[in-house]
Amino acid sequence: MTVPDVRLNNGVAMPQLGFGVFQVPDDETEAAVTAALETGYRGIDTAAAYGNEAGVGAAIAKSGIPRDELFVTTKLWNGDHGYDPALRAFDASMSRLGLERLDLYLIHWPTPKRDRYVETWRAFEKLLADGRVRAIGVSNFQPAHLRRLVEETGTVPAVNQVELHPYLPQVELRAFDASQGVATEAWSPLAKGGELLTEPVVASLASKHGRTAAQIVLRWHLQLGNVVIPKSVTPSRIRENFEVFDFELTDADVASLSSLNRGLRTGPDPDTFN
């Protein structure tokens, strides 16, 4: 099964389906990432705050997969905002990952009360110019935060990784990202594997297409053009979540999933999270 790429605004290709490792303990991360790489995932999404960059790095090192076939993302944590702190945080992440060059570095949260994300972004521009990272982006940025970055620095983020699933389809934010040339990446794409997967609409589409609920939801993301990074530590689910490129939802199926919108955040509000 081949994962399509999304072309970022600086020409870099990013796999549309990757593997997330939030809340996977470091000592279980190597096994989970190894299972994902063996299945065929080439995008891995971690963060300094997850405490498992070392486990990700260990799996990559042992995989024997050529480095240029992998797409590794990590993120700068809230306490590391600012120009020099960001450069130091990047070096620390790279040493835990055991990598020379990163594919995508994200500002994890804008933390507007700290008011330092523009300074942080200038450090990201330097990392990009120095060739330490192939693309730079943000996470949990609202349109106002994105607008300010672009106005003050002129550098448009390649990616905005936000909470996004049928309970929170982020219609306006996705449109804003697209209008700016920013790729939208969905975190908690399965709404954390909870109630969404037992919704009657999802169950009926699963039975119509002969697929699982998770596959239906992942297909919805892919057909909307989202980059998607489901997490699982369960090998059978890791495979299941990868087998989503050999069927298609109709436009009506996609619309019925989008109509599950409840404006429901499972995570913090980006305007207040600090």
Interface positions with ligand NDP (CB under 6 A):
20-22, 45, 108, 139-140, 161, 187-193, 197, 212, 214, 229-234, 237, 240-241, 267
Q: How far is the CB of 168 from ligand NDP (least distance, A)?
A: 11
50 an active-site residue? yes
Which one, 47 or 84, has the nearer CB to ligand NDP? 47
Q: Answer whether 162's CB lies under 8 Å from 139's CB.
A: yes
Q: Answer whether 100's CB lies under 8 Å from 136's CB.
A: no
- Burial of 20 from C-beta contacts in 10 A (0-12 / 13-18 / 19+): buried
Q: What is the dihedral of CA 42, 43, 47, 48, to 10 degrees?
A: 40
Which one, 84 or 194, has the nearer CB to ligand NDP? 194
Q: How far is the CB of 180 from ligand NDP (least distance, A)?
A: 19
Pick the catalytic residue: 50, 105, 117, 167?
50
Which one, 216 or 254, has the nearer CB to ligand NDP? 216
CA separation for the pair 196, 248 (Å, rounded):
20
Classified as helix, coil or strand, 101 is: coil
Q: Are strands 13-15 and 5-7 parallel, antiparallel or unpaired?
A: antiparallel
Q: How far is the CB of 137 from ligand NDP (least distance, A)?
A: 10
Cβ atoms within 10 A of the Cβ of 152, count? Answer: 13
Amino acid at 81: H
Q: Measured at CB, which residue is nearest to ligand NDP?
A: 193
Which one, 166 or 230, has the nearer CB to ligand NDP? 230
Q: How far is the CB of 250 from ligand NDP (least distance, A)?
A: 22
Q: Answer whether 270's CB lies under 8 Å from 142's CB.
A: yes
Please state, in angstroms and as integers, the Cα–Cα distance from residue 194 to each residue in 114, 243, 272, following that order. 33, 20, 25
Which one, 66 or 214, has the nearer CB to ligand NDP? 214
CA separation for the pair 236, 259 (Å, rounded):
29
Q: How far is the CB of 79 from ligand NDP (least distance, A)?
A: 15
As annotated, the active-site residues are 50
